[in-house]
């Protein structure tokens, strides 16, 4: 069995998961991607740790519990986008509204993980929610294919916690919550 991977992320409230699942059912009927994300696995990644030993993981959890985590906040989703080759993208995602609170949370978690010696992704933070992987269409993908599926009204949700996930690639949902971190209420 492969070593499990771990990552810190913002999970989506179940009501938001259900709404995105409805959205996915519309999109998946038209856009042929190979794998669609299970609704319970929808999240915004803050820091991907990969495989790790128990002591390092425990230290990162303790350090993050010590953080001043800030207050709960709201985010919005409205559009779709892709990562990878423009003609054959590897990731289909939903956008996440720009949020200083989300950026500050990510920076705090990211910094705590770096202090514990984790080698993290160096690309700029681009918050998104992955909903599908690997284009498998007969023809080339074109961004204009996404536009009919943009939401007319933003889907908003409240972020009141973030979590540490453990991956289980051989089951659905794939992610198991190992630790929860509650944000303060205003």
Q: Is 38 a catalytic residue?
A: no
* Per annotation, catalytic residue among 5, 38, 65, 128: 128
Q: Is 128 a catalytic residue?
A: yes
Cα 42 to the chain's mean position, in Å? 6
* b/e per residue 68-93 (b: at least 16 CB within 10 A): ebeeebebebeebebeeeeeebebbb
CA distance 80 to 85: 15
* Per annotation, catalytic residue among 5, 38, 43, 168: 43
Largest CA distance in the chain: 51
Strand, coil or helix: 2: coil
What residues are annotated to the active site?
A: 43, 128
């Amino acid at each position: 069995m492969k070593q499990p991977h771990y990552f810190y992320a913002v999970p989506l409230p179940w009501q938001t998961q259900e709404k995105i699942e409805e959205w996915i059912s519309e999109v998946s009927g038209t856009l042929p991607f190979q794998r669609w994300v299970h609704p319970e696995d929808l999240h915004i990644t803050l820091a991907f740790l990969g495989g790790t030993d128990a002591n390092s993981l425990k230290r990162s959890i303790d350090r993050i519990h010590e953080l001043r985590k800030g207050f709960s906040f709201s985010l919005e989703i409205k559009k779709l986008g892709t990562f990878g080759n423009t003609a054959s993208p590897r990731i289909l995602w939903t956008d996440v509204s720009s949020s200083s609170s989300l950026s500050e949370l990510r920076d705090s978690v990211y910094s705590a993980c770096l202090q514990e010696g984790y080698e993290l992704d160096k690309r700029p933070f681009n918050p998104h929610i992955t909903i599908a992987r690997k284009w498998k269409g007969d023809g080339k993908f074109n961004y204009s294919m996404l536009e009919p599926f943009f939401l007319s009204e933003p889907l908003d949700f409240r972020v009141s916690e973030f979590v540490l996930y453990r991956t289980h690639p051989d089951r659905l949902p794939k992610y198991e919550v190992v630790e929860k971190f509650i944000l303060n209420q205003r």
